[in-house]
Amino acid sequence: MANPLPQIAPQELAERLDQGEALQVLDVRAPDHVAQGSVNLGAALEHRALPNSKLFALRDLTGLRLDPTRPVAVVCGHGNSSKQTTAFLRERGYEAFSVAGGMAAWETVYVARRLAATASLSHLVQLDRIGKGALSYVLVSDGDAVVVDPGRHVDRYDALLAELEATPAAVVDTHLHADYLSGAREAARRWQVPYFLHAEDAISPYDGTPGRLAYQALADGDTIAFGRATLRAVHTPGHTLGSVTLIVDDGLALAGDFIFVQSLGRPDLAGKTDSWAKLLWRSLEQARREWPGELLVLPAHYAGESERRSDRIVAARFDVIAARNAPVAIQDETAFLRWIAEHEAPPPAAYRLIKEVNLGLRELSDAEAGSLESGPNQCAVK
């Protein structure tokens, strides 16, 4: 019997890349698919892309610039055509592996990274959904946990909570997401805990249709107590009308899509750029007045490796962001609004539908959900 074709699980690939292993990735999808999102993790990653139709026609593989002494992870859309490529490369002496499930599976991978405990938190974990550039958080105090901005793969959070020996107490969305399908409502149902969301995000920003979702309204100044810890909500609209930032121990800010390490949440996704950009400016001005420089900002998204710290966490002190983040550093409202207008881009076509699903206005199968979410987030002003 022939040996089975070597494969690598996406989770293993992610963890090895995240640890700095010098792996090669060969993406054999069509160029337009590669342009929509690819494996992009770790400073030592060497990424190559060439569709199978061209690869198999090569007389020699020198042009691929693959090192035959190092492993090659071959990725396609769903883990099928990559098997052919893996066999092709192995016949020519390369240590190749097919990425099981392809990019569809890559976008379901979460890497958990632990931050230091705080005065009231025994555990603070940032879950990095690397295919989306999406970040969610699990906070634990005296065995009680709050989950913030979870993705739809609720089993990942179940596993982490079990590992932390924590019992869920609440789920929070800092805003109604447009780039991925939230797992908050499903998690709240499964765990029988409250789901918190600002009331202004419980309706469609496109046509005002009320959402069909059970939630507890979270307004400016409201608190969520669990264990010995308290989350305090600060209303920071602009990316959405109901965006909130969650302050913990006066030292951490779970900022959602308000502030990123290198940008801000775009205010144009509902077609109301002018009015929402002004709200974003006011939220930024409030943060500059009230937030101490040492406040650690933990965002809900990132755009690339440059936004990571040396420990791989995506976070930065507010004074560092204020100095280095181009739109945050702007001190004049007119200049800020001009900068936003100059960097406006067409919103992704799927975002309205994702909002409607998150509002409970549409239902999708798992296959439809995976297709709808494909590709990295586009929530930052660029």
Global confidence as pTM: 0.95
Q: How far apart are CA 334 and CA 349, in angstroms?
A: 29
Q: How far apart are CA 176 and CA 118, in angstroms?
A: 28
Among candidate residues 2, 18, 88, the one with its CA nearest the CA of residue 52: 88
In three-state form (DSSP H/G/I as H, E/B as E, the rest C), the secondary structure along 229-291 is EEEEEEECCCCCCCCEEEEECCCEEEEECCECCCCEECCCCCCCHHHHHHHHHHHHHHHHHHC
DSSP secondary-structure letter at 7?
A: E
pLDDT (tens digit per residue) in 212-270: 999 999 999 999 999 999 999 999 999 999 999 999 999 999 999 999 999 999 999 99
Tell me the domain boundaries of the chain: 7-106, 110-373
Is 193 in contact with 168 (CB distance < 8 Å)? yes
Percent of the chain past pLDDT 70, that is, above it, reads 99
pLDDT, average across residues 97-124: 96
Class of domain 7-106: alpha beta
3-state secondary structure of 37: coil
Q: What is the pLDDT of residue 303?
A: 92
Is 245 in contact with 174 (CB distance < 8 Å)? yes
In three-state form (DSSP H/G/I as H, E/B as E, the rest C), the secondary structure along 64-101 is HCCCCCCCEEEECCCCCHHHHHHHHHHCCCCCEEEECC
CA 188 vs CA 114, 143, 372: distances in Å: 23, 18, 23
The one-letter code for the residue type at 83 is: K
CA 333 vs CA 8, 234, 282: distances in Å: 50, 21, 9
Is 180 in contact with 369 (CB distance < 8 Å)? no
Mean confidence (pLDDT) of the chain: 95
Confidence band, pLDDT 50/70/90 cuts, at residue 3: low
Query: Does residue 200 have a pLDDT over 70?
Result: yes
Q: What is the pLDDT of residue 1?
A: 38
For residue 270, give both structure tokens: 């509902």
Query: Does residue 325 have a pLDDT over 90?
Result: yes
pLDDT (tens digit per residue) in 24-77: 999 999 999 999 899 999 988 999 999 999 999 998 888 889 999 999 999 999
Place of tokens 């769903």: 78
Kind of pairing, strands 24-27 and 72-75? parallel
Is 127 in contact with 160 (CB distance < 8 Å)? yes
Q: Is the C-alpha dihedral spanning 72, 75, 79, 80 positive or negative? A: negative
Strand order, beta sheet including 46-49: 7-8, 96-99, 72-75, 24-27, 46-49
- CATH tag, 110-373: 3.60.15.10
Q: How far apart are CA 225 and CA 232, in angstroms?
A: 9
Is 291 in contact with 246 (CB distance < 8 Å)? no
3-state secondary structure of 170: strand
pLDDT, average across residues 12-32: 94
Query: Does residue 370 have a pLDDT over 90?
Result: no
Q: How far apart are CA 103 and CA 10, in angstroms?
A: 9
Is 149 in contact with 300 (CB distance < 8 Å)? yes
Q: How far apart are CA 255 and CA 175, in angstroms?
A: 10
Q: How far apart are CA 78 and CA 33, in angstroms?
A: 12
CA 86 vs CA 55, 73, 259, 291: distances in Å: 11, 8, 42, 52
pLDDT (tens digit per residue) in 128-170: 999 999 999 999 999 999 999 999 999 999 999 999 999 999 9
